[in-house]
Each structure stands twice: as structure tokens, then as C-alpha cells.
Amino acid sequence: MTITLAPSLHRNQAIIKIDFKYNTEVKNYINAIEGVYWSKTHNSFYIVNSSINKRKIYKAFRLKKWYVDYSAFPKKTNTIPKVKNIDVIIKLPVLIESSQKELEKFKRWMQQKRLSTNTVNTYFEVTAFFLRYAQLKQKTISTKLIEQFNYDFIVRPNKSISYQNQCISGIKKYLDYKNMEVLDIDLERPKKPKKLPEVLSEDEIKHVLQHITNLKHKTLIALIYSAGLRIGEALKLRVKDIDSNRMVIHIKSAKGKKDRYTLLSPKFLELLREYYKTYQPKTYLFEGQSGGLYTSSSAQNILKKATYKAKITKPITLHTLRHSFATHLLENGTDIRYIQTLLGHSSPNTTMIYTHVSQTSIRNIKNPFDNL
């Protein structure tokens, strides 16, 4: 097994990309290393680029007797690759030990507040970035420093609106943790563009499933579509959450800490029973090789390979299956209020977006040109 390490940038932070030929054992091993994260942008694991981390991961891979290719690193490892849209790259220092400890306390505080894992990791990352910036400027946290950080590392390099909102939320959460009040922060949250969701047709869903030969993989992808689940909800499902008598699936502590019921398809139940007899999961419906939760990155890779084989060129994610479920329900005549309940939306306005992508709704509108 060859592990390839290469310097790169992720959200203006120097990182070490970790690439390898896909292997479940290797993926799980890397994912368990402290400080390693998954990047959707790079489609790879990464760790902050520092001499300590470089030695740590090299040693971790050598313990497994895997070959480590680090030829991509220049002799002087402190050089930073060029990034578009940024005139000057500011190299941020490694956090001092006291700040690192404080950051870890902040992470535990968020976990105790029962924030979702994704939210905790995101706020932790953006706050670390901000604290390194404060350390570089040798300044205490203030309104001016936050506004300067926002300009230098978000506005100036033209980061996405989503990332800007994440940074603002992360910094404000850190201020809440520190019981600090910074007045009159001139950081208006920009509105995200309202883009319509990408949707697969029923035939395209069928073709995707036909190109998944592994029973476990097919069952997971079929579940997400047939029940309209978020990937986190699907992976946290327990065997006891499947109610075949009432033909429903019990989703517990979903987004917003809410429980709900969604549909259990009779056709999917046949597939699920075949899967259960073969794999016999004990606690979670889908478990990793060493037990515990199956990973979302593995599920995304399954879908990515299947859509490629099915020759579908749309930009597809696991959430596309949920969008498709809702749209197909609407096209089949299901009341929008029932769809809202099945999806677990707090507001009907969120569900109404599917009226804009439903082909049936569009086809039923009479074009005024036909009256001419």
C-alpha cells in the first residue's frame, strides 16, 4: 500500500493532503488519526501542515509498514502553493500551546451543548483559523480584529457565502463560550443564492441502483432514496428503528433534535431483509468493518462510482437522493404537507422549493402563447 503526501491549501490554511488507492481498512485507519479531517473540496483526507503533524502521520503509516511517498514536498517545506484570487498569501503561525488547549476546551463545550458533529468540527476549524490570525497580528480579540479577519481571509479571496456564514457563526459561538461581548461588529450575513436542487429522474435512480452490485451498498443507497433521509440519519439508524408491522421507519434526534416517522417501502423491505440475513447487523443498521458507524465518505464514494457507471453527468451527492424522493412524491400527487412531515422540515416554505422542480407542476401550467 502506497500513501501519498502532498502540500496544499484548504481554506487558506496550509495542509498535507493524504491520498491512497481506495481501501476500507486504510480509510478507517487514517480517519482515526487525531487531527485528520475529510475535505470535500480536495476529495481527500488532510491534516494541518506542520513539522509535528508530518512526523506524526509518517510514523503512523510506517507502523503499518505502508510505503509513504512524500516526494511532492519541496526541500523547504514552508513554501506555500499559489492560490488564485489572492494577491498575497499570509502564512499563519501554529497555535501556541495555551491556545490549542483552549480550543480543545471550546470543542468539548460545543459537544456538551449537543451541537451536531459537523457543526462542532466546522466551528472548531474556523475558530482555529481566526485564533492563528489573532496570534499573527499579536492582538486580542476585538471588533476591529474580527472585521479585518473577515476581509483578509473571506471577502478578499472571494470565499463562498456559506463559508463566510460559517466563520461568523463559529467566531460568535467562541465569543459565547468565552463569555465575551464584542459590540457593533459590522459583519452582515450575506444571503445565499436560492438555487434549485439537482434531481434525478425515477429512471436515473433505477440505473444508479442497477450499477451497484454490493448488497450492503445497494441497500444503503436505496434506503436514502426510498425514505428521503439525510445521510447522517441513515447511518445512525438502528435495527430496532425499522417497524415492518406499521411499515414506517423511526428517525430519532434528527436535525433540530426532532423525531419523526417516514415511509418504509414494501419493495425496499424485501431488499432490507435479504441484506439483514447476509450481514446480520447487531446495533446500527449499517456498521463499519470494525463495528460502529459506517462513514458518510464511504457512502458518497459508492454513489459517485455508481453514477459514473450509469453515465449520469449531473453533479450528484447523497442529498440529491433526498431531493429526488421529495420531488417524485410531489409528482405522484402527494400533498405538500405530508412531504414536509416525511422530510422533517420545520417550515412548509422549505418544502415548497420542490414545487419549482416538479415536472408535473410545470407541465400542468397552460402557456399563454397557446392562446394566441
Active-site residues, by number, are 230, 255, 319, 322, 345, 354
Residue whose C-alpha cell reads 450528484 in the numeric block: 316
- Which phi and psi angles does 59 have, rounded to 5°? -65, -40
Angle at 294 between CA 55 and CA 276, to 5 degrees: 150
Give me 224's grid cell.
436514502
The C-alpha torsion from 57 through 61 and 66 to 70, rounded to 10°, is 10
Sign, CA torsion 177/178/181/185: negative
CA distance 230 to 116: 13
Contact yes or no for 54/64 (Cβ under 8 A) = no
**Per-residue b or e along 132-144, where b marks 16 or more CB atoms closer than 10 Å to that residue's CB:** bbbeeeeeebeee
CA distance 132 to 137: 9
Q: List, in order, residues 6 or more apart from 84 with CB less than 8 Å away.
A: none
The closest alpha carbon to 177, from 127, 213, 234, 226, belongs to: 127
Give me 229's grid cell.
433521509
**Per-residue b or e along 83-103, where b marks 16 or more CB atoms closer than 10 Å to that residue's CB:** eeeeeeeeebebbeeeeeebb
CA distance 272 to 268: 6
Residue 325's identity, in one-letter code, is F
Helix (H, G, I), strand (E, B) or coil at 89: coil
Cβ burial of 271 (10 Å; 0-12, 13-18, 19+) is middle
Helix (H, G, I), strand (E, B) or coil at 312: coil
